[in-house]
Amino acid sequence: GEDVEQSLFLSVREGDSSVINCTYTDSSSTYLYWYKQEPGAGLQLLTYIFSNMDMKQDQRLTVLLNKKDKHLSLRIADTQTGDSAIYFCAESTTGGFKTIFGAGTRLFVKA
């Protein structure tokens, strides 16, 4: 079945860039998402990319997609302590339906 994998932890210093990586198995994935979850809260959609795109940038966030390798990354420039959270990678072939989530990467930002 479909699977989404991501590393569990990442620690960076404040002001550095963070890169969170994700791999997925479903070659027919059409939509790839990044969600952020702060402690005790639901998931906040950060950004998403269609499979026919290679890159998407939104302020401090840059998403890179390597469709051949089924690899997705999220780069956060100038990481702040407020960026400390869990980041979930997710994929879907049909928009919101049957969205498959990774286990989440816990980002620690050291001041």
Partner 1 sequence: GAVVSQHPSWVICKSGTSVKIECRSLDFQATTMFWYRQFPKQSLMLMATSNEGSKATYEQGVEKDKFLINHASLTLSTLTVTSAHPEDSSFYICSANSVSSYNSPLHFGNGTRLTVT
Instruction: Give the number of other CB atoms < 10 A from CB of residue 8.
Output: 10
The verdict on 94 binding partner 1 (CB under 8 A) reads yes
Residue closer to partner 1, measured from CB, 82 or 96:
96
- Cα separation, 93 vs 78, whole angstroms: 32
Residue 110's closest CA among 3, 9, 11? 11
The verdict on 103 binding partner 1 (CB under 8 A) reads yes
Residue choice 43, 51, 56, 62 for contact with partner 1 (CB under 8 A): 43
Q: Do 9 and 108 contact (CB within 8 A), yes or no?
A: yes
The verdict on 61 binding partner 1 (CB under 8 A) reads no
Interface with partner 1 (CB under 8 A): 30-31, 33, 35, 40-45, 48, 88, 94-97, 99, 101-104, 106
